[in-house]
Amino acid sequence: MATEIIVRPWQCIGCSTCALTCSLAHHGVFDTGRANIRICRDEFAGTFELRFSSTCNGCKQCARVCPSGALQLVDVPGKKEREVSSR
């Protein structure tokens, strides 16, 4: 069964755990600037927007570590992993 990432930006707490995990997994360093996901804060509204770069390979590590549920993995019944979009 395949999994997909569900993005719920209203649940984001801005902790950057997803971005730090991404940069560590792919570049070996804790550096949000090198991550394939960006957390953009709207200072006025106090909300966050999550953006994936075009270099994201769909490894889903960000969703596995998200503590707030802003990024979640869900099973997609009847699909094989390679048939499902990773973002």
The DSSP code sequence of 10-49 is GG-----HHHHHHHHHHHSS--GGGSSEEEEEETTTTEEE
Averaged pLDDT, 62-66: 97
- To the question of pTM greater than 0.75 for the whole model, the response is yes
- pLDDT digit string (tens) for 21-51? 999 999 999 999 999 999 999 989 889 999 9
Question: How many CA atoms does the CB half-sphere of 4 hold within 13 Å?
Answer: 12
pLDDT tens digits for range 3-24:
999 999 999 999 999 999 999 9
pLDDT for the residue 81: 60
Which band of pLDDT confidence, cut at 50, 70 and 90, is reported for residue 1? confident
pLDDT for position 78: 78
Give the chain's domains with CATH numbers. Answer: 2-83 (3.30.70.20)
